[in-house]
Amino acid sequence: MLNQFITDAYIGIGSNLQNPFLQVASAIEQLALIDESELHSFSSLYLSRPMGPPDQPPYVNAVAWLQTRLDAHSLLLKLQAIENEHGRTRDGERWGPRILDLDILVYGNYTIEDQSLSVPHPGIKTREFVLYPLHEVNKNLMIPNLGAIHRIQPRCYTNGLTKLSI
């Protein structure tokens, strides 16, 4: 379904399996091809410690800024299709290793809470691998119910987050 208006959507990207660097780079390329959307910009790639089980490889993370006419749920379906194309399986393990993980972090000024989608993403204010690349793509971003990214990001520890040089 299409929005009448263009909405800024910020997408979190992460991978720690099957050459994570290439998985994230490929996902960014595929985000640029989503119908009724345009890739405005994307962050650097970052190396981060995994959440959850400690016996998994580190993650490569980034954030992409899309401008889209798709409603949030239609955009989510497009993101899940990209994950599936990369071989993502949903085995129910929370915070386990992933070939590719795409999350809608922020969708305009909207707050959405239903069975399939929570926006802004519930972990956004405590996850360094989200806040630092999100701040990089838009230092002036206002996150609904949380405030300005430039006030939130400095309060989040880097926790070993490393910007990758390409």
Say whether 101 is catalytic: yes
Residue in 69, 90, 101, 155 annotated catalytic = 101
Residue in 49, 71, 103, 151 annotated catalytic = 103
On the 0-12 / 13-18 / 19+ scale of CB atoms within 10 A, 124 is buried
Residue in 69, 88, 127, 155 annotated catalytic = 88
Q: What is the pLDDT of residues 38-82, one digit of tens each?
A: 999 999 999 999 987 778 999 999 999 999 999 999 999 999 999
Number of Cβ atoms within 10 Å of the Cβ of 104 = 22
Say whether 8 is catalytic: no
Q: What is the pLDDT of residues 74-117, one digit of tens each?
A: 999 999 999 999 987 776 666 678 899 999 999 999 999 999 99
Beta bridge partners of residue 14, listed in sequence order: 61, 101
Reported pTM? 0.95
Amino acid identity of 39? L
Q: What is the pLDDT of residues 5-21, one digit of tens each?
A: 899 999 999 999 999 99
Residue in 98, 114, 127, 151 annotated catalytic = 98
pLDDT band for 129, please (50, 70, 90 cuts): very high
Domains of the chain, start order: 2-163 (3.30.70.560)
The closest of 101, 97, 73 to 86, measured between CA atoms, is: 101
